[in-house]
Amino acid sequence: MAIQATKARRNWLGVARLAGRLGLALGIALAMYQLVYRPQQLRWGATDAEVERAMPGDQIQPHPIFNATRAVTIQARPEQIWPWLVQIGYLRAGWYGYEWIDNEGLKSADRIIPALQHLKVGDDLPIWRANNYKVVAVEPNHYLVWESANGHDSMTLALYPLDASHTRLIWRKRDAPYLWTSPSVLIPQLFADAVDVIAIRQNMLGIQARAEGAPLEAPAVTYTELALWMAAFLSFLVAETGLVVRRDWVRPGLSVWATGLITIGLLLVKPPLWVDGLSTVGVLAGLWGIYRPATRRVIPGTEKHTPGVTGREEVEQK
């Protein structure tokens, strides 16, 4: 009985330890997301004044859970940028971003399409498969406002001149509510909450390049960058797993913070591709250094030899 009680106690301690480590890993991930990543990704490129500014379409969702305002400066006048905004959309001119993800692999337009220049209130804007927004406001050379089919979400693209040759493009998205009782709806909502900035930023930079007449980014660069970010994020998940399952916690805990912050930095800063590459390789090398199989160091003169067993077999047995 005593032996059984001891085993049961050890099992419960093991379960409690695992639960505690799992809670710690999830707590660190949540803290980094809510305190570091999310506040910055919701306002990528935007100033305090732009975040606080009232914009057309805000009234559609006055109490948003997801309230994002992103901005970029374009070296062009509003009337030069406007045609690129009017024709935007899934299977229209495209989103000027990750075409293999958001436009069925079809190349986004690199020219103005006259047939798509007559957007008006009441028109549908295809966001993606079976997901249409409706145009609710159009002010040429100033703003476009779309509303989701359920009337809960809004998206606004607005142009604000800075001077005779520079314009700020502001992209605001306001969503709510999150349907916590419907996993089939909630999971896409949470996924969009996390990665929306990556897509929207690429869309905005695509508009910027086209309006300025600058060379477009090569697809090989675009998708290599995305793959490196995914590799960095996967390294964070590996570090999280190590924190849960390994006996020690100091090095796994440090690796979680390091990989998490590096991944966040790459996503938010969008550095040159070579920086992405070096950072990701460094993260993977660091994880290998922490989690590689331990080797026993043998002091010369202290080896023990078993008769009939080769040196290689002895090492494998150890």
Ordered by where they begin, the domains of the chain are 19-41+225-291 (no CATH), 53-217 (3.30.530.20)
Residue 45, pLDDT above cutoff 90: yes
Residue 304, pLDDT above cutoff 80: no
Residue 184: predicted pLDDT: 83
Report the C-alpha gap between 44 and 171 in whole angstroms: 10
Element holding 206 (H helix, E strand): helix 183-212
Q: Give the side-chain half-sphere CA count within 13 A for 170.
A: 26
Residue 290: predicted pLDDT: 83
Report the C-alpha gap between 119 and 151 in whole angstroms: 20
pTM metric for this prediction: 0.86
**What are the structure tokens assigned to 26, written together?**
């999830």
Looking at the DSSP assignment, which residues form a beta bridge with residue 171? 70, 157
Residue 247, pLDDT above cutoff 90: no
Residue 238, pLDDT above cutoff 90: yes
Residue 16: predicted pLDDT: 82
Arithmetic mean of pLDDT over the chain:
89
Residue 305, pLDDT above cutoff 60: no
Amino acid at 274: W
Of 214, 237, 238, the C-alpha closest to 290 is: 238
Of 228, 251, 221, 252, the C-alpha closest to 238 is: 252
